[in-house]
Structure 1
């Protein structure tokens, strides 16, 4: 059953909805939900020994428990790259990307709600993860992706048995097509953007880091940001760890965008609380970092607020640095997809403070930068 007293909550106007409903957005403002979820008891570091070696070991802080859909996701290695920069190898997940952290939560929630169908949209990795976990849960799944999505990702989606819709146009057109389908009765919209259960999956990235660093966190956590699901999960985890008395300070969140598609960085530098007027108008510029090429992220206000509250900042990287960063990591033994190298491209030469970067997807998903 679902955790008692957990409800959807609109951060804009306070509207609530039951988590047993299939309502995927606030009916008043149309924005994404947050989750009004209260941790019933603090996580005890001493209780972790002997627990399951997956993200579900942090059961006290998760809004779902005892999953039937798990594929053993989580507990990925943390390895040093330099004296100050370490990498979390989230490309070693069951579907080869960090999106498994949130997808397992969505699939588990959908399994308990038993909808007629599950719909998702993605630039590739989230759709692959949702397709895999829906297969695990025995749920019919349809995934919408934009034209130009890596054939290796579309092959993986089909292999998991999902119905694939390739949408003409960019990521925004794909999202609109999926949201139209999501409004059909009996449909669970497995949105990694609108459904907050996904964020409670991605927050385990930081809980694992905290455990592996002996109950501490680095000075900064750098994450690639498109729709911001990993960054918002990290912000959620650091708030929770601080509230539970498990850390003394919150690390700075360093948000990284491709220079070619950087609407959030532009808003941050302008001191704005939301996207600037005209952001996202017209087609998105091409970039090797396709997974973060999001011109109008629905959670923009939350992302900007989270970075500022942490004392962090935005960094942008040009295409040539993305290319060279992928080759540099490969020379270090780590072959990572082009989106996943953006943070290394941004912070690889830092020397003054400790930072962890995620390597979010395997290089085999997109191949080499060209």
Structure 2
């Protein structure tokens, strides 16, 4: 039997996508530090142009902090209708080359071009063709990483940003990863990175020398996974049609609220989540959500979730809202605790074969 061909994966990432769309559509914004966000103490940055990033402005930071870092920034409210339209246009470009497309968000996706629709000679040539078409047809730029798996392709796409691409051939992987800081590995946030550094593990080379068994004893299955990533091992396939595992809605309040004041907001968010769930049911009527989740974020940014999987799944918006409100009783923080954000979601979807397909709600 012949071996399967080496996978050829491309990760395409649009450059400062939301901000770039705004600069494209409004010439007065070009060359200026653009921050896509609503102004206000409760707002967060959706995107920042490269001119704004020079000042340290980054996505997901509070808008007030962005304004302090870059007083001359031009704040533009997000327009997701336009961003989704451009994303669909880019998706059409991808589809000229492969049907194996796994979107991660509006502005990035994995493509498996092991067996492409057009024989351009190499995955590198396909990535170049895609980026050229994006530039010509959308007047935006994208960066790309080409590698034998998803993990490596995502790292490579960030290597020559903006408007560049980087190829990681199999023979290059071991040497390329050895000096890479552990903070560059997916899933290693600042807290995990600090734990690893405290153990003398700062790079992928350090992870390799530590050994899989040692890491697994210390961190469980995640430790073994880290050891695999340090060697560039990632067997995940590109998944064009990932089933929905969660439908949710969340909101940051204008003022921090007590738990007892949250009911109208929880019911409003439950209505939004239920509407999204009904849209999902229209596409996949056989998939039923069995779990209701309440997410809360305290004024000091502590995040907690409470969930309930009932014997019978919720069958109405009101039932969903009732469960979400009741979940507040399982929050054991002091009565004076104030909350800046709430979210309601439905999860625990039944898979087509009837088995549960559950994942962490609001994970990202």
TM tier, shorter chain? under 0.3
Q: Which has the higher contact order (CA 8 A, sep 6+)?
A: 1
Larger fraction in strand: 2
- TM-score normalised over the length of structure 2: 0.27
Structure number with greater Rg is 2
